[in-house]
Amino acid sequence: MLANPSFHGRPLQYVPTVRNELCRPYACPLQLHSRSYQFLASSLGDKRKRIRRRSISRIFKTQFSVRASAEPQDLSVLAVGSAGVQASPFSVRIPVGDRHITVETGLIGRQASGAVTVTDGETIIYTTVCLADVPSEPSDFFPLSVHYQERFSAAGRTSGGFFKREGRTKDHEVLICRLIDRPLRPTMLKGFYHETQVLSWVLSYDGLHPPDALAVTAAGIAMALSEVPSSEVIAGVRIGLIGDKFIVNPTIQEMENSKLDLLLAGTNNAILMIEGYCDFLPEDKLLEAVEVGQDAVRGICKEVEALVQKCGKPKMLDAIKLPPKELYKLVEEISGNELVEVLQIKNKIPRRKALSSLEENVISILSEKGYISTMEAFGSTETLPDLLEEDEDEEVVVDGEVDEGDVHIKPVARKTVPLLFSEVDVKLVFKEVTSKLLRKRIVERGKRSDGRTPQEIRVIDARCGLLPRAHGSALFTRGETQSLAVVTLGDKQMAQKIDNLVDDDEYKRFYLQYSFPPSCVGEAGRVGAPSRREIGHGMLAERALGPILPPEDDFPYTVRVESTITESNGSSSMASVCGGCLALQDAGVPVKCSIAGIAMGMVLDTKEFGGDGTPLILSDILGSEDASGDMDFKVAGSDVGITAFQMDIKVGGITLPIMKQALLQAKDGRKHILAEMSKCSPPPSRKLSKHAPLIHVMKVKPEKINLIIGSGGKKVKSIIEETGVEAIDTQDDGVVKITAKDLSSLEKSKAIISSLTMVPVVGDIYRNCEIKSIAPYGVFVEIAPGREGLCHISELSANWLAKAEDAFKVGDHLDVKLIEINDKGQLRLSRRALLPDPEPEKQSTKPRNASLSNDNVVSPKASDKGKPKKAVTVSNDGSASKSAESLKDKTVTMKLSSPGKEAAKRLVSPEKDGPDKPQMKKSGGNISSKSGNAVVNGEAKVV
């Protein structure tokens, strides 16, 4: 019987951390050995077994060997960590392009595993790297999380929200998080499972030097200074192209004129990540830009390596835990030919289910049932552990036998026991074995899982006009990847507002939103806010399609593209590019050309799988080839040039020759896809949908904008309510955009705005104007919507009137002439000037009176009486005849081509000479008289 069974299990089951073990009173090895010796001595009873203390010490030394070896190791790490804190700041200036960046460590964040500030101009990035004390469960990915935040205080601002602090991560911050994360992962060593967190803040922003490329470099330096076991130092730069010159880390102003926006990250000798957008740049120019960026990254990495040697902390290489080496051979032995057959299944869902079933079987055998290998390496019998080995001075008495001499016990062969491994290790190894066999099949046989050759593209099908109420729609299918793209057109109110560090409101008139529901891969999962992957893929497709959109002056619509992935088996972002292009054409957007996208893969080390060692480039990769391959290189553009690209790799880096081969192969793939897109059935309509809104753009004088808006926006609201238009958008430069559902409401609002913003000219005649109100001194007449003038009682009639209401009432219509505009902009009108003279025989003595016949004959007053005038007669064909003789009535007769039209026509009479006489301009293609009157298309107008 056991004397103390409760104590017997506790030391072996307890797995202490460094902090807990240092605090426990029974952690001393001497105490454990003493108490355990008493326990074993009492348990032997009357069997009179004599065991030397030395053997007991060996037993407990074996039992606690894990703890004894771990404690000093962890303590040394803690000691190094505390000693590694910089007593004083250390900084270095690194040349980048035509200026320097400053890297400083040891001043801020000294308790972090790695902390650094990087300064470019007055833009400062602060980045830290911290890791958990206890490793997490092993997994097939490195437990790395990246968070990037732009503090509004960096630009002297504060958040506009109620809480006055930064909220959730914005989309452009998520994109920068991805830029930081993607080059870091390939440099992390396998088997390190301590959760690692990278935090990056923009502490200062000068509006001149962008912070994203700087944040990539800061993260690479902080990781190199930390204890995280990374393989190499990384850095990042931006490359711009202005004219024919490549610029390293260009400023914001320089990027406005750049044809290229390339962000590159890499190490001293390889490229890890590129992402960029350009305006139909050819492949050779892109390779030149990558070469310039690689040289700049190489210079930064060399300087950082010197910094790391002086200020860096020792790497935690002893924390790396890899699966047992023999497990790889066992997994291959158990799965055998069955795994090879499963990888040859063409369809994704059956192949995934078969792989999952086979994996469960392998896990069950190796982690639950146990497996006895038939391989010779594992066929030898095991021996008893060295717990029973005796030294020369050891005396052992067994089963009551008394022997005064030494007894030597020979090792006794034991039966072979099944091998058991942890489930996590089996899963990791099974995934690696699957990846290895997949690449081996492609290299050896030249065939992929779906039977294609490395350069072959999957079958493509495209359709447009699926959704009758949408402004534009397209369904693009490539193999088992499918994208449903929908285009919606709208006005500026539909534009997406961007929150920037700079205090300027920015609106995006074109944006693409990508969604990846779990149903597209045949799974049930969570549906919620867009993931970082969805935001990144959407931005890539958006920037790829941006260069083909028309300018806002030619197409004043806000364009939204939604790409919903309905099936996915690799390259769904590039399917969004193809589907989005077709949907834009179906919506009637006048795009410049068609755009296609393709994803390229790679098997880097073909010599390992029976090849000649030359990297093998794969066109239009599947999901399994993305997961098991060494590269994911997405390229979008036309058959002329590239508009967007993004490359992620899972190896230590690639070289320029490999990238060149991938770009040329991608160009051939794009040409094939574009040819298939041209066969779309049904084809895109290429005309504006009847369900799309109508947008009319008009230009008025900037000072007239307030007349349209009105006090507190009352006027513009009343116009919208009266006409039924959807929106009226005004800009400070005088541009007015009217958005309406139908043409009639659009014309109504356009007429009202034209009347509001018209510039009255003295001498203009207005027909059929309504009396709005009557005063004792005259009537107020509305000559245009919202524009009224006073017709004084003396100007209402040729005869004397005592009261205006004696002859007129509100609502009556009459013709008036503008005779004066005072300093306040008030209009003075006259009806009497248009009435026929009641005493024609006295016309010579009253030249101020004018007469108007039923045939639209205007008799203006002549202020310069006594002077001879020439008569000008304008006929319907625009010809003019002049008479040199002086006319007593001094009248000018004009015949109009369309006498039936009312408010839209202006009949202009000659004005009196003087300083206030308006200057008349000639209208192109029309005849004007010396008096300044012009006829345009049969109408008399004043310019």
Beta-bridge partner residues of 272 = none
Of 388-392, 508-512, 904-908, the one with minimum mean pLDDT is 904-908
Residue 532: per-residue pLDDT = 93
Please determine, for residue 378, whether its predicted confidence score (pLDDT) is greater than 70.
Answer: no
3-state helix, strand, coil in the chain (%, to 5): 35, 25, 40
How crowded is the C-beta side of 353, counted as CA atoms within 13 Å?
A: 7
Q: What is the 3-state secondary structure (H, E, C) of 430-465?
A: HHHHHHHHHHHHHHHHCCCCCCCCCCCCCCEEEEEC
Give the pLDDT confidence of 269-304 residue by residue, as tens digits: 889 999 999 999 999 999 999 999 999 999 999 999
What is the reported pTM?
A: 0.73
Residue range 877-899: average pLDDT? 36
Tokens of 788: 């009224």
Q: Are 583 and 561 in contact (CB under 8 A)?
A: yes
CA–CA gap between residue 910 and residue 817 (Å, rounded):
12
Q: CA-to-CA distance for 450 and 343, rounded, in angstroms?
A: 9
* Mean pLDDT, the chain, integer: 78
CB-based contacts of 811, cutoff 8 Å, min separation 6: 770, 771
- Give the confidence band of 409 by pLDDT, cuts at 50, 70, 90: low
pLDDT tops 80 at residue 521: yes
841 against 16, higher pLDDT:
841
Q: What is the pLDDT of residue 781?
A: 92
More confident residue, 909 or 356: 356
Q: For the segment 202-259, what is each residue's pLDDT rounded down to a tens digit?
A: 999 998 999 999 999 999 999 999 999 988 899 999 999 999 999 999 999 999 999 9
Identify which of 496, 521, 514 has the alpha carbon closest to the alpha carbon of residue 506: 496
Supply the pLDDT for residue 446. Answer: 87
The β-bridge partners of 852 are 858
Q: Nearest Cα to 864, choosing from 892, 828, 890, 843?
A: 890
Instruction: Indicate the pairing of strand 144-150 with strand 196-204.
Output: parallel
SS3 at position 237: strand
What mean pLDDT is predicted for residues 174-190?
Answer: 93
Q: State the pLDDT at residue 236.
A: 96
| CB of 448 closer than 8 Å to CB of 442 | yes
Tokens of 229: 């076991």
- Candidates 530, 499, 526; CA nearest to 512 is 530
The token pair that represents 615 in the structure block: 């990297």
CB 470 within 8 Å of CB 490: no
Q: Is the pLDDT of residue 445 over 90?
A: no
Closest to 307 measured CA to CA, from 145, 130, 118: 118
Percentage of the chain lying above the pLDDT 90 cut: 47
Give the pLDDT score at 918.
39
**Which comes out higher in pLDDT, residue 98 or 860?**
98
Answer whether 609's CB lies under 8 Å from 444's CB.
yes
Model pLDDT, residue 804:
86
Could you give the CA distance from residue 698 to residue 381 in angstroms, rounded to a whole number?
Answer: 93
Q: What is the C-alpha separation between 260 and 274, in angstroms, rounded?
A: 13
Instruction: Please give the pLDDT value at position 415.
Output: 57
Q: How confident is the model at residue 924 (pLDDT cuts 50, 70, 90)?
A: very low
For residue 688, report the phi and psi dihedrals to the nearest 5 degrees. Answer: -65, 135
413 φ, ψ (degrees, to nearest 5): -65, 140
Cβ distance 276 to 243 under 8 Å?
Answer: no
Q: How many CA atoms lie within 13 A of 399 on its CB side?
A: 1
Indicate if the pLDDT at residue 395 is higher than 50. Answer: no
Token pair belonging to 38: 């008493």
pLDDT of residue 373: 65
Confidence check: pLDDT of 366 > 70: yes
Residue 549: which of 506, 590, 513 has the closest Cα? 590
Cβ contacts of 822 within 8 Å, gap of 6 or more: 828
Residue 320: what are its φ and ψ, rounded to 5°? -75, 130
Indicate the range of 50-59, 435-444, 779-788 predicted with least confidence. 50-59
Identify whether the C-beta of residue 569 lies closer than 8 Å to the C-beta of residue 449: no
pLDDT classification of 736: cutoffs 50, 70, 90? very high
Least confident of 167-171, 426-430, 450-454, 496-500: 496-500
Residue 608 has pLDDT above 90, yes or no: no
